[in-house]
Structure 1
Amino acid sequence: MSYQRNPVKAPRVSGFALKAFVNTLESGVGAPVLEKLVRDSGITQWRELPAGDAPPLQLPLPPGAPATEVQSPQEQAARAIAAQAVTPERETVGSYARAYREGGVDPVAVARRLNEAIDRLERGEARMGLFIARKPDEVLRAAEASAERLRAGRPLSVLDGVPVVLKDEVDLAGFPTTLGTRFRNQVASADSTVAARLRAAGALILGKANMNEIGINPIGLNPHHGAARNPWNRAHITGGSSSGSAAVVAAGLCPLSIGADGGGSIRIPAALCGIVGLKATWGRIPETGVPPLCWNVGHVGPMGLTVDDVAAMYSLLAGPDGKDLVSQTQPPHHLSGYERTDLMGVRLGICWPYFEDASPDVVARCKDAVRALTDAGATVVEIPAPDLNTVLWTHSCIILSEMAESMLPHSRANAADFGLDSRTNLAIGRHFRATDLIHALRHRHRLTRDLLAVMADVDVIVTPSTATTAPLIPEATLPDGESNLPVVDALMRFVREGNLTGFPALSVPAGFDRAGLPVGVQLMGRPYEEHLLLRLGRVVERATAARTPAIHVTALR
């Protein structure tokens, strides 16, 4: 199949026109308008595409390469941090561990500095829009307990005393999980699994990060909690939906955060904010305590300043729990071969027309990343072009149908509580037919089977993470924002396949465009081979010069 991408034909709409459009979609005459909208976008071709013998059940993922070394999650995390080259300019997890060990600073001093810095960044006209909820006094109390453990020489893990932030899509006891809405205010009575594991590791949870409302858009603008702004240039978006989770790391407030990814929502903001983001294999990190939005394509996972930081957090978070059925079917996670920089024998799958379907600066920097990998011994193997229209509609049908179902009680009661972009997407989700969803699930199975066949000949597939660097925030349209499907397509072009199939994917910084905005390169691997993605990510990272964003704070000095 030759590479082909259907152009996006939808106009850019905002203000009164967008409100009128949304009201029409939700009215009695909305059905024919919705059908024309999806038909003009290419759904007819997809509806007529046979799925062969694929049933509407996900293809069981193969177990992946077994571990060559057996280590506990704590040992794996410590090993990842030990691999770091600690530099004064980058406050990584390793930098925190060394500073605490040498006694130059303690978690209490760090917590005070960070609380003050967040207060400064979150007030006035220059507000960054990074947080939805915080409890600074609780952070100080946790820091005091951590400092006592460190003084006694009994840290809970390499993350003891290290600040982290959670996307407001995961439960944290004592905080509402708003999902970025204005109506979901019930306080969580228990921690999500990821929050519990971070607390058990001694991490300082600074608060709940801003996000795109219900994670339904990759832009990162929230009509209720404000636009999350990019620390590299606050006039630009962070990407979404884990918008605040990416920006807090880039701004130096923490070396690690938690995001969630149903359609690139970890990898897109990681790329636009110049940090690392891992969408692990589906179910690799338990979803217990993460309110269900998109059951079949959703992943929760780590975002961090460096690959080593992300590897450490992944080591501590992955692994089954008793309430997440999918996580219970996972083989043991590991970091076998993680520190190896020799990539002899590693095969990089690239479809060059697809790879080059991005802005010139993005393509150039991602080719630099490929060069770093081949210089380390990897070889490039050309692979077939993906069927982007099938991937687009299969993913869109599944994720929007599931989100529409998860939000249906409130949509029926008071649809106007949602922002306009959410209302548009939820209306499309409600418009899909039952036959469309079954058709999508069958194609999901087929696409997974086809991708496994492609990856029999390659170890990873390399693409840009996004087709563009961070676009400008449309200030005149705030707080409601706009409908801009060409931008959405540019941000999501390379990420959907990982969500559909459940394969792991890593976004790593690959440099900067001419305006100084970050570029990300994506590495997608076979199921359960996160260790290989992280290994390759370290090679790219070491070949790429790091910079500091315009808006940045320090906590260790």
Structure 2
Amino acid sequence: MPTVQPGTPNRKVTEDELRSVLTGAGLELSSSLVEDYRTLVSLLDDAITSLPDDKSILPYPDLLNYPRTDIHVPEDNELGGWATKVTAKCVNPISDLLKGRTIALKDNMAFAGVRCTNGTSMVDWTPTIDATVVTRVLDAGATIIGKAACENSCHEGMSATAITGQVHNPYQKGYSAGGSSSGSGRLVATGSVDLAFGCDQAGSIRIPASSCGIVGLKPTWGLVPYTGILSLDATVDHVGPMTKSVRDCALFLEAIAGPDGWDDRQPPFGLEGDRLKFVAPVDLVLEKEPEKMLAGFKIGVLDEGFEVPGQDSNVVASVRSAVEKFKSLGADVASVSVPLHKEAHRLWNCASPLSRGRQSLLGDTDGRKQLYLTDRAELVGSKLSQAQFDALGPGASNLYVGYLWMQEKYGAKVQGKATNLLKATSDAYDKALKEFDVLVMPTLPYPPPRLPEPGSNEGPLNYLNRTTGMIANTCPFNNSGHPALSLPVGFVPAREDPTVKLPTAIQIVGRKYADVDCLKVAAAWERVFDWKTL
């Protein structure tokens, strides 16, 4: 099928204009071919310039029903937790599901009229729309009280790179709160908000949840719409709840799950009815006698999840102790091996640069049926300027250099190869989950690291070495799309100072779209055991 119909263009591009483009692409065309393509490209230009304004169909919020006031940058950001404060509540909510609850948005989410820093000064952007999930929590009766700080371009696992300042661990100042949803983790842990959004492409909900001693769920890929949120890569984008308790996590998830008609990460049918109910099934588990709470549940202890290079022995001991407690709740517990789990981290790294450099840093999300944040993309351009690159943190700048290298040296074949190999990894988890209801392992291999000195410039290599292996157990389930929940299970000594005690957590992974099983298992454990006393 032809891309354009021949005709007479309104304005014909000049031969010099076209040859400049062709020469830049390394092409030499004869004069007759150039003349033909001048006409064809001119017709394409006509079509582009005649497009109507897409702003007419954007989902702008009704500011009379969803008013927002007192928008300001706080002088006291609570040791890095807040990026911007705002007060917003729906005038006519649809339900009382989240009535009386306060919520923080991660600062990569669109909220009309409120700046969205994405943790960086690379782009100065104030959205004109609201993310779908923002509207949903307002419709459920919640009150939004601000935007939580996030790490620079959402590419860090340590909380030291946000443009709004370092985010400190709620249990020890000077230590990481995790990333990239760093402010969300801290604010929930300190009680500054009841609930907070996190976004997760390699562990950015679960890393701060583990670091801050709260519950964090990366839902099944596509269960919750990502519409109106800055993307890293649509194939690994997830948005989900960060809460103090598992029941709150279920409540939050019930308020935001389900298709929105924009996001092609979501299946076009099947996500409805009881599949979007999470609170009642959790409550049924909590009503049982402790020894019967998990009767019939089969829990697989993933061997490879305890074999991460550099894993802290105290973390392993804490999580293994937590696993043993599932037996007293009636669950059957046994070990299971998924050898490909050890390869998933490397595959994530190889699949990242080309698509994620393009999508997250340049805002180029072509090939997806979703809401395009074109106003922000226009502020970036087709490549980063020196000033924009200099505004990136170590993780984001490393991604961009890797993107340039892969684009020049390999093209699309490496990303394609890694993506093909990831299918086998996902299938291996599916196979294990036919035998077990959930898989468990440590969320993180070690406790939160100490933050670097503010303003220190140690270079990307030294900085990134602080978090080597951090995402070994988290990113595999971004690749595969399985739901994964982080539940705090105890304190362990900091590596830099054994007198400092910091939270650690177990990760519970379920079958796709069986997020409720992760919630049930976590809720039962939380109901009987107090992680702070273990």
> TM-score band, normalised by the shorter chain?
0.7 to 0.9
1:536 aligns with 521
Q: Distance in 2 between matches of 1:132 and 1:355?
A: 36
2:430 aligns with 452
2:317 aligns with 364
Q: Distance in 2 between matches of 1:155 and 1:412?
A: 43
Instruction: Determine if contact 1:128/1:227 at 8 Å carries over to the other structure.
Output: yes
The counterpart of 1:344, out of the listed 292, 295, 305, is 295
1:495 aligns with 474
2:350 aligns with 397
Write out per-residue CA displacement over residues 385-438 of structure 1, whole angstroms, 9 at most, x where no aligned residue. 433553122211223322211224554323223234321222113323311011
The counterpart of 1:331, out of the listed 268, 271, 286, is 271
Answering whether residue 332 of structure 2 is matched by residue 379 of structure 1, we say: yes
Instruction: Determine if contact 2:198/2:241 at 8 Å carries over to the other structure.
Output: yes
Answering whether residue 407 of structure 2 is matched by residue 422 of structure 1, we say: no
Mark the structure with the bigger radius of gyration.
2
Q: Distance in 1 between matches of 2:505 and 2:468?
A: 16
Structure 2: stretches of 5+ with no match in the other structure = 1-68, 363-379, 494-499
2:421 aligns with 443
Instruction: Determine if contact 2:122/2:391 at 8 Å carries over to the other structure.
Output: yes
Instruction: Determine if contact 1:511/1:544 at 8 Å carries over to the other structure.
Output: no
Aligned pair count reads: 419
Q: Give the Å deviation of 1:200.
A: 1.1
Q: Distance in 2 between matches of 1:334 and 1:210?
A: 30
Tell me the SS of whatever aligns to 1:423. helix
Q: Give the Å deviation of 1:539.
A: 1.7
Write out per-residue CA displacement over residues 410-468 of structure 1, whole angstroms, 9 at most, x where no aligned residue. 54323223234321222113323311011011012221122211211111110011011
2:52 aligns with none
Matches within 5 A, 1:226-237: 226-237=165-176
Instruction: Determine if contact 1:224/1:479 at 8 Å carries over to the other structure.
Output: no
Matches within 5 A, 1:300-315: 300-315=239-254
The verdict on how the C-alpha distance between 1:486 and 1:543 changes in structure 2, with shifts beyond 3 A counting, is farther
Instruction: Determine if contact 2:195/2:241 at 8 Å carries over to the other structure.
Output: yes
Instruction: Determine if contact 1:266/1:303 at 8 Å carries over to the other structure.
Output: yes
Q: Distance in 2 between matches of 1:327 and 1:223?
A: 30
Q: Distance in 2 between matches of 1:263 and 1:430?
A: 21
Q: Give the Å deviation of 1:169.
A: 1.3
The RMSD of aligned alpha carbons is 2.6
Answering whether residue 192 of structure 2 is matched by residue 247 of structure 1, we say: no
1:193 aligns with 132
Q: Identical aligned pairs, as a percentage?
A: 29
Letter in 1 for 2:271: P
Answering whether residue 161 of structure 2 is matched by residue 217 of structure 1, we say: no
Instruction: Determine if contact 2:298/2:438 at 8 Å carries over to the other structure.
Output: yes
TM-score, normalising length: structure 1: 0.70
The verdict on how the C-alpha distance between 1:325 and 1:173 changes in structure 2, with shifts beyond 3 A counting, is same
Q: Give the Å deviation of 1:478.
A: 3.5
Q: Give the Å deviation of 1:352.
A: 3.5
Structure 1: stretches of 5+ with no match in the other structure = 1-110, 549-557
Letter in 2 for 1:451: Y
Answering whether residue 133 of structure 2 is matched by residue 162 of structure 1, we say: no
Instruction: Determine if contact 1:249/1:255 at 8 Å carries over to the other structure.
Output: yes
Q: Give the Å deviation of 1:223.
A: 5.2
Answering whether residue 412 of structure 2 is matched by residue 461 of structure 1, we say: no
Tell me the SS of whatever aligns to 2:420. helix
Q: Distance in 1 between matches of 2:528 and 2:356?
A: 40
Instruction: Determine if contact 1:256/1:302 at 8 Å carries over to the other structure.
Output: yes
1:322 aligns with 261
Letter in 2 for 1:331: L
Instruction: Determine if contact 1:275/1:305 at 8 Å carries over to the other structure.
Output: yes
The counterpart of 2:502, out of the listed 517, 524, 528, is 517
Q: Distance in 2 between matches of 1:130 and 1:362?
A: 26
Matches within 5 A, 1:286-297: 286-297=225-236
Q: Distance in 1 between matches of 2:241 and 2:231?
A: 18
TM-score, normalising length: structure 2: 0.73
Higher RCO, 1 vs 2 (CA within 8 Å, ≥6 residues apart): 1
Q: Distance in 1 between matches of 2:229 and 2:277?
A: 24
